[in-house]
Amino acid sequence: MPVWCCRCSLAGHFRNYSDTETEGEIFNSLVQYFGDNLGRKVKAMPLVEETSLLEDSSVTFPVVIIGNGPSGICLSYMLSGYRPYLSSEAIHPNTILNSKLEEARHLSIVDQDLEYLSEGLEGRSSNPVAVLFDTLLHPDADFGYDYPSVLHWKLEQHHYIPHVVLGKGPPGGAWHNMEGSMLTISFGSWMELPGLKFKDWVSSKRR
Strand 82-86, strand 3-5: pairing:
unpaired
What's the chain's length in residues?
A: 207
What number of H helices and E strands is found in the chain?
7, 7
CA distance 180 to 161: 36
CA distance 109 to 123: 19
Calculate mean pLDDT across residues 25-53: 51
| Cα–Cα nearest to 3, from 51, 55, 67, 69 | 67
Write the DSSP string, 115-155: HHHHTT---S-S-HHHHHHHHHHSTTGGGT--PPP-EEEEE
| Cα–Cα nearest to 93, from 159, 139, 48 | 139
Query: Position 27: which residue type?
Result: F
Task: Tell me: pLDDT of 203 over 60.
Answer: yes
According to DSSP, residue 164 is labeled E
Of the chain, the percentage scoring pLDDT greater than 90 comes to 34
Task: Tell me: pLDDT of 176 over 70.
Answer: yes
pLDDT digits (tens, 9 = 90+) for 51-99: 555 565 677 888 999 998 888 998 999 999 999 999 988 899 999 999 9
The pLDDT value recorded for residue 86 is 95
**Strand, helix or coil for residue 110:** helix
Domain ranges of the chain: 1-5+34-80+159-175, 85-150+187-206
Q: To 10 degrees, what angle do helices 23-38 and 70-79 make?
A: 10
The pLDDT value recorded for residue 4 is 58
pLDDT digits (tens, 9 = 90+) for 150-166: 999 999 999 999 999 98
Strand 163-166, strand 63-66: pairing:
parallel
